Amino acid sequence: NAGVMQNPRHLVRRRGQEARLRCSPMKGHSHVYWYRQLPEEGLKFMVYLQKENIIDESGMPKERFSAEFPKEGPSILRIQQVVRGDSAAYFCASSPLMGAVESSGNTIYFGEGSWLTVV
Amino acid sequence: AQSVSQHNHHVILSEAASLELGCNYSYGGTVNLFWYVQYPGQHLQLLLKYFSGDPLVKGIKGFEAEFIKSKFSFNLRKPSVQWSDTAEYFCAVNSRAAGNKLTFGGGTRVLVKP
């Protein structure tokens, strides 16, 4: 049973370009979360999505960032017109149930992350 | 809003030494507490979690954590570390009132010298 798959693992973009990060949740999981880890900082929540719906985007920057989780295919985190400050590790996680991220039967699983470097 | 603070950013110790990583959270309601570990180049793995019941929680790889509600703390411990415990450790909290988002501490990098 494959885990949460993220690609690309490493992405280099020039300032002003677009970055697209993809996340395929674990089989049977319909909820996806994106977190960002800036250098020397902890993970910060960005967005929580269910298939075709954004449940909570309170951690998303207001501009240039968007996320989707279509009915078919992976979840996409899109960053337009990247700047150096966007350089970070972006982690995706998935869970099978709505509601509590963690309960006795609803464990959240993390992907290996996508490292974005903006030059 | 809930927040999590981890006291140490970096810890260096020798094999067989005891490890204790501090974690404090700020939220007055019912919370769930977690410790995750991230080995170099790998994804986050759940070490242990607390929901209710016995405040002393046993996790994988010989780790344990104690929830002290009065101190808003959830410190992680291991009596005798190994070189393979070199990793970054994250404390996290979630609560239904905060929409069940996981809020992470800043992480503690642990280096175990052989």
Q: How many helices (H) and strands (E) does chain A have?
A: 0, 11
Chain B residues lying within 8 Å of A99, measured CB to CB: 100
Tokens at A2, concatenated: 């494959």
What's the one-letter identity of residue A8?
P
Rounded distance between C-alpha atoms, residue A20 and residue A67, angstroms? 10
pLDDT score for B1 = 72
Nearest residue in chain A measured CA to CA from B36: A110
Q: What is the pLDDT of residue B62?
A: 96
Q: How many CB pairs under 8 A join A and B?
A: 66
Mean pLDDT of B41-70: 91
Cα–Cα distance list, A74 to A24, A25, A54, A67, A80 (Å): 5, 7, 14, 11, 19
Return d(Cα B97, Cα A79) in angstroms, integer: 29
Tell me which H or E stretch contains A78: strand A75-79
What is residue A26's DSSP assignment?
Answer: P
pLDDT digits (tens, 9 = 90+) for A56-91: 999 999 999 999 999 999 999 999 999 999 999 999
Look at residue A106 in the predicted model and tell me its pLDDT.
61
Contact A57, A67 (CB under 8 A): yes
- How close is the nearest chain B Cα to the Cα of A67, in Å? 17
